[in-house]
Structure 1
Amino acid sequence: MTHSAPPELLTFGEAMTMFVAECHGELSTIERFTRRIAGADNNVAIGLARLGFKVGWLSRVGEDVFGTFIRRTLEAEGVDCRHLGVDPEHPTGLLFKERAQEGTDPNVTYFRRGSAASHLSPDDAEAVDIAALRHLHATGIPPALSESARALSFRFFERARAAGASISFDPNLRPRLWGSDKEMRETLNRLAVGADWVLPGLAEGRLLTEREHPEAIADFYLSRGVSAVIIKLGPEGSYYRGILSGQEESFIVAGCPVDRVIDTVGAGDGFAVGVISALLDGQDPRKALWRGNLIGAQAVQVIGDMEGLPTCERLTVLEGILPDIS
């Protein structure tokens, strides 16, 4: 395809083809599945693209039908895939997900070891026009995939920082991909302190900082140079602590009520979409957290990871009919 101007926003990581069970039960008993796309980083890319941002996605997929499916899905969502490479030697990652019981996290089985995306390296960052970049969004998943993908994460932070782009970081912990909690904690905290906005869940913040309360978790990162820490509190909403007009401010924004929780996977990605989009739109942090809570609440009401992410038009409707509880 012919490429236009380079994207202003960039995410990177591993997109996988996901097969979701069509009925409840253990995966070993399921005969029918629905094919979808999965991956925290690309969920955010899709969500921001739906809201009108020019978003690029950097990754690798295998030279297989699953890689083709991922590219076509992302491009159909308006995501710029000029930096999505095809690896003829390694496969696209796959996952199989149980149909979640309401309000619970579903069991997931991964087939991602040795995937194409795990072979990402710092060389992949060199083709990106960083000078055109306004914002980089990163998660803790790529550095968990391999040493080379970890090096890519640090290289992106260095290049984005040097170019003056803002950086958001969602730890998105995957402990099973790490050799130890200590290694995970040290690596992800090194990345986090290079970001402007850090977006952990409360449990993630506790594990990474070994501190209990949101205020103390925020202090851990603010004292190391981060501009704002935004902590997801689940149904209770979200917590903000950061610098506003030269002064530190902190507050909690209550969550958006949800009548029925279908699948909690993707809620954090929806929250990131809301916060990042609002801050890049010039909204104040309180409004950004409210939008994050709002979009996160939409994500838990559908089966797929990104199907609940709204378009601009849908967001306008939601923001018009739901009370601003910030």
Structure 2
Amino acid sequence: MSKTFLAVGECMVEMAPTGNGTFSMGFAGDTLNTAWYARKCLPDSWNVGYLTAVGQDQVSEQMLGFLKQSGIDVDPVRRLDDRTVGLYMIQLKEGERSFAYWRSQSAARCLAADGNHLRSAIGGVDLIYFSGITLAIMSEEDRETFFAVLKEARLAGAKTAFDPNLRPRLWESADIMRACVTKAAGLCDLVMPSFEDELAYFGDTTADVSADRYLAAGAGMVVVKNGPEEVICASREDRQAFQPKPVLDIVDTTAAGDSFNAAFLAEYLTSGNVGASVDAGARLAGTVIQHRGALVDCFEAA
């Protein structure tokens, strides 16, 4: 029987710089990026689905068509009559990216508003993947619904993976962000933070401190990404550090963490080998950041 990797979050219209002063339109978003790369990395015995909410308009239909064409199951998607999808624009400076967003009325903000739909979409899946952005765009009430359904799914045998992806501008306050992210980590088998964010918003002095904090919150295993530095993989029983190979020609770091997460999870779900999983994640992320945009069809090169 097939297994299911379900990513939960917001897919947005992406306007990405082409390098000649114009922008190209696509679809992306942190958890969607991971789902897209996971579909490329996982064997055919795995189904990859995406749980979000979209409108009934033309751009929403285009988005769903893109997901289907990418081999991603859209059955979990919630449709809303009175909203549409969000948009963001990538701005680059020396390979580092910043973003401008138009998402205040995004349909995805309502993805967990219907508890029955949420339970139906999540029930029976093997891995549920979400991020801090997934939580940030929800109302407080919807977050609690999501956490309750997540607990039910884990009791039924689902595994959970979480990238804190700390974006304080999306939250009511930095304190609420830290509290919700910590609560979410305690509900997860895998937590996959980026140390740069943890340093900035939790004040962690080292990647090991970040790992310890998430383990103390109840996480099963923590994988701390740290750019070109060592990746720390820690559980209560074991701790290992892995040095990724350097990447010399960095063009665009968009989706570096998302692609790492996808390849890591795909390898870990199939082999259970932590070292091989880090290597897979680092290799794919290293290839992605040598190209422009979030979704790079570079698997022969990787």
The match for 1:264 is 253
- The equivalent residue for 1:93 is 86
Residue 238 of structure 2 corresponds to which residue in structure 1? Answer: 249
Residue 134 (structure 1) shift:
1.1
Q: Distance in 1 between matches of 2:274 and 2:23?
A: 40
CA RMSD of the aligned region, Å?
2.1
The unaligned stretches of length 5 or more in structure 1 are 25-29, 319-326
1:41 is the counterpart of 2:31: yes
Alignment correspondent of 1:188: 181
Report whether the alignment pairs 1:239 with 2:232.
Answer: yes
Q: Which runs of 5+ in 2 are unaligned?
A: none
Corresponding residue of 2:16: 20
Deviates further, 266-275 or 196-205? 196-205
- Would the aligned equivalents of 1:142 and 1:153 in 2 still touch at CA under 8 Å? no
Contact 1:239 1:252 (8 Å CA) reproduced = yes
**1:130 Cα offset (Å):** 1.5
User: How many angstroms does 1:129 deviate by?
Assistant: 5.6
Contact 1:101/1:262, CA 8 A, preserved across alignment: no
SS of the aligned residue for 1:194 comes to coil
Structure with greater Cα Rg: 1
Q: Matched residues in 2 for 1:122 and 1:186: separation?
A: 24
Runs of 4 or more above 6 Å deviation: none
Letter in 2 for 1:142: T
Q: What is the DSSP-based 3-state SS (H/G/I as helix, E as strand, rest coil) of the residue aligned with 1:200?
A: coil
Amino-acid identity (%): 26
Cα deviation, residue 186, structure 1: 0.3
How many aligned positions are there? 296
Contact 1:169/1:198 (<8 A) preserved: yes
Q: Distance in 2 between matches of 1:282 and 1:234?
A: 24
Report the counterpart of residue 135 of structure 1 in structure 2.
Answer: 127
Indicate which of 287, 290, 306 corresponds to 2:279.
Answer: 290
* Secondary structure at 2:13 match in 1: strand
Q: Counterparts of 1:107-146 in structure 2 under 5 Å?
A: 107-120=98-111, 121-123=113-115, 124-128=117-121, 130-131=123-124, 133-146=125-138
Normalised by the length of structure 2, the TM-score is 0.91
By how many angstroms is 1:153 displaced? 3.2
Q: Could you list the per-position Cα deviations for residues 130-172 of structure 1 after superposition, in whole angstroms to 9, with x for gaps in the alignment?
A: 23x1111111112111315423531342132111111111011
Distance (whole Å) between structure 2 residues aligned to residue 202 and residue 168 of structure 1? 17
Q: What SS class does the counterpart of residue 121 from structure 2 fall into?
A: coil
Normalised to the residue count of structure 1, the TM-score between the two structures is: 0.84
Matched letter for residue 109 of structure 2: S
Query: Are the structure 2 counterparts of residues 280 and 58 from structure 1 closer, same or farther at C-alpha, using a change threshold of 3 Å?
Result: same
Q: Is the 8 A contact 2:6 2:122 kept in 1?
A: no
